Amino acid sequence: MTSSEDSVSAWKCKQVAQWLQEKGFGEYVELLCTRHRLDGLSLLALTEADLRGPPLGLTVLGDIKRLTLALRQLQRQNQSQLEELGIPTSDSLPAVLPMDTTGLEWSFDRAESRYNGFDLVSNGTELRLRNGSRCGYGTAAALCHTHSNGRYRKHLAGRLDPEVWKTVISVIYVFLVFGFTSFVMVIVHERVPDMRTYPPLPDIFLDSVPRIPWAFAMAEACGLILCYMFLLILLLHKHRSILLRRLCSLMGTVFLLRCCTMFVTSLSVPGQHLKCSSKTYSDTWGKIQRALAIWSGFGMTLTGVQTCGDYMFSGHTVVITMLNFFVTEYTPQTWNLIHTISWVLNLFGIFFILAGHEHYSIDVFIAFYITTRLFLYYHTLANTRAYQQSRRARIWFPMFFFFECNVNGPVPNQYHWPFSKPALMKTLIG
């Protein structure tokens, strides 16, 4: 055949199509050569992960495996061309790991294992090697290498770079959103419906469960306990900067949505015990002072803040649920007691919000649904890196792409004591 006489890297699409026909993969000629213009150079760099994932998306397992084997054979036959192109060969994996296996230790946490100081993190079909924030061959070059089905792909070092400056931006973002939310709450209070004209709406839960006067304070207490738990995890987590950045970006986004929903629709007061009436301020400065009072008191009744009209949807439910999900996500799966306590606090907090008759059931349900969906969508995109293949995702989620573009895959749950003293804590935690 003519294509065998030429350098594979110099093949055109027609020669690649001929090679596919000879190997028995003629049905994929149109997909690979016509639609995706696969030439010899890209054929040599093709991996099983490329075949499985977008935009190719092959689904027949037997074809995937047979084509992968044919590709590996072709790559072995053209090893010199791979070296010239700077594509590492499959034989170079042992160079990354220490050759001396003395003191070999393995420890597993979810999809994570450690080998003599190197971290091997499994994510789908990928196996990444990381030593702290630097990876490389032998003496640790400034590149990370991803092993995927026998092949390597180079990544820039520092895939879990703290990027503190981005975290600072996320903190500023959430504080600005909280300030804006406080101001919207002041405006909403001016428009709260008159209780004599608009009585409480029918609600199955509120109509069936008598009001417990101290319940709302207990809901805020549950939130405070969850907050302290998360702060402790944040202090001890090795990747605390990424955790804080994600919490701030998610919390800010949900509360920004809450500003829209409570502004466009004013629900009637859910209980006769709430002494709510429309409150008008003489000037803008008076509104700003009230907003600052709400903002500085975190909108909590425990700090003396009393608001009206901000019902759709429940901010307390958002905070409690978000903290619960962060606590359970960023602690090992074996910490069952911590996860149980976190979920109990979340569920009891929601119950106490409703038992205090401070929100309608729909307020709490929508808050829980939006918070959980946004958390899961965010982490699914971040962990799978699916947005890298989608231009639409980058357009619709620009802030997510900005914060997560350098975080390559799931964040491992590693802990260490951030201070030099006491030495006992450094020894126990690492």
- Please provide the DSSP assignment of 150-200 as one string: TEEEEEES-TT---HHHHHHHHHHHHHHHHHHHHHHHHHHHTPPPTTTSPP
Do 76 and 193 belong to one domain?
A: no
Residue 134 resides in a domain:
no
Do 212 and 72 belong to one domain?
A: no
Helix (H, G, I), strand (E, B) or coil at 290: helix
Residue 139 resides in a domain:
no
Do 173 and 81 belong to one domain?
A: no
Chain center to CA of 168? 18
CATH of the domain at 17: 1.10.150.50
Q: Which domain holds residue 16?
A: 9-85
Chain center to CA of 128? 19
Task: Let me know if 356 is exposed, middle or buried by CB neighbors in 10 A (0-12, 13-18, 19+).
Answer: buried
Residue where a domain terminates, one of 54, 85, 116: 85
Do 77 and 180 belong to one domain?
A: no
pLDDT at residue 139 in the model: 37
pLDDT at residue 408 in the model: 81
CB within 8 Å of 411: residues ≥ 6 apart: 160, 239, 242, 243, 330
pLDDT at residue 240 in the model: 94
Residue where a domain terminates, one of 61, 85, 109: 85
pLDDT at residue 281 in the model: 78
pLDDT at residue 104 in the model: 39
Residue 155 resides in a domain:
no
Residue where a domain terminates, one of 33, 60, 85: 85
Do 75 and 198 belong to one domain?
A: no
Split into its structural domains, the chain has a count of 2
Residue 295 resides in a domain:
yes
Of the candidates 270, 248, 292, 297, the residue with the CA atom closest to the CA atom of residue 403: 248
CB-CB contact of 62 with 51 (8 Å):
no
CB-CB contact of 327 with 338 (8 Å):
yes
Per-residue pLDDT tens over the stretch 356-384: 999 999 999 999 999 999 999 999 988 88
Evaluate if pTM is beyond 0.85. no
- Which amino acids are annotated catalytic? 316, 359, 363
pLDDT at residue 157 in the model: 38
Helix (H, G, I), strand (E, B) or coil at 281: coil
What are the mean pLDDT values of the chain's consecutive 10-residue runs (430 residues total)? 62 90 89 88 86 86 90 85 67 43 40 40 40 38 38 45 93 96 92 87 94 95 97 94 96 96 91 81 86 91 88 94 97 94 97 95 96 94 77 80 87 86 71
CB within 8 Å of 69: residues ≥ 6 apart: none
The runs of H, that is alpha helices, within 265-314 are: 284-296
Residue 128 resides in a domain:
no
